[in-house]
Structure 1
Amino acid sequence: MGRFSVLTMTDAAASRVNAIVAGKGGDALGIRVGVKKGGCAGMEYTIDLATNSKPGEDQVERDGARVFVAPEAVLFLLGTEMDYEETVLRSGFTFRNPNQTSACGCGESVELQKADLDALAAAQA
């Protein structure tokens, strides 16, 4: 059994990552996803352009699209599906995260708990 992915990307997310990287050109490798304290529910997802790979980062790839996951975010993002949505009101990446305990009304900020590694290991067995 291989290592399980920290997060997975939908087709829409992968194609959007590829479009962003193509649009930036040059040294862009993909995007970096992290979490930071903030917002009304306690945590916010962060998305930045990744121009290099940092030590200890996880890397997820789909259809050539690369997402780097900051080491401090891994436990909060385990099992998350990253999607890209365009609606009348907003367009952007969305995260379906099993570690999310609640979210604020605007969906920009979430309450996250660290993943239960023992439960994950049991589920993988």
Structure 2
Amino acid sequence: MTTVIDDLPLDMSPALVFTEAAARKVGSLIESEGNPALMLRVFVQGGGCSGMQYGFEFDEQAQDGDTMVENLGVKLLVDPMSLQYLSGAEIDYREGLEGAQFVIRNPNATTTCGCGSSFSA
């Protein structure tokens, strides 16, 4: 069973926020791949200088237990184990002097590395 985060009561915050900027960028990447069935999978795995690191990959199918968040018709998937670490996080995309990158603002991260690609919880 896949959990879809859609409309929530006003007093509940979403388990995961997928910003419009991130959805637009993922949508353009999917378009350049030429496969409209693709969805962005965000996951957490061991590694990096702080112990845990984020990963991104395209997937054509939701797995049993995945949480799905949709914005602008673009779907983001998170597996149940990763959702434990990403609950309440915001997946965003930003362009600046440092370049363009996806950014995860994670309230569960107790420490992060200097580059922001790994964390501990």
Is the shorter-chain TM-score for this pair beyond 0.5, marking a shared fold? yes
TM norm structure 2: 0.84
Number of aligned positions between the proteins: 112
What is the CA distance between 1:57 and its match in structure 2? 0.3
- Give the Cα–Cα distance (whole angstroms) in 2 for the partners of residues 31 and 74 of structure 1: 14
Q: Where in structure 2 are there 5+ consecutive unaligned residues?
A: 1-7
The correspondence of residues 1-125 of structure 1 with structure 2, limited to 5 A, is 5-26=14-35, 28-112=37-121
Structure 1 residue runs of 4+, over 2 Å off? 1-6, 26-29, 87-90
Deviations 1:41-73 (A, max 9, x none): 011000000111111100000111110002210
The structure where helix makes up a greater share of residues is 1
> 3-state SS of the aligned residue for 1:100?
coil
Q: Where in structure 1 are there 5+ consecutive unaligned residues?
A: 113-125
- Give the Cα–Cα distance (whole angstroms) in 2 for the partners of residues 27 and 12 of structure 1: 18
- Give the Cα–Cα distance (whole angstroms) in 2 for the partners of residues 53 and 25 of structure 1: 19
What is the CA distance between 1:28 and its match in structure 2? 3.6
What is the CA distance between 1:74 and its match in structure 2? 0.8
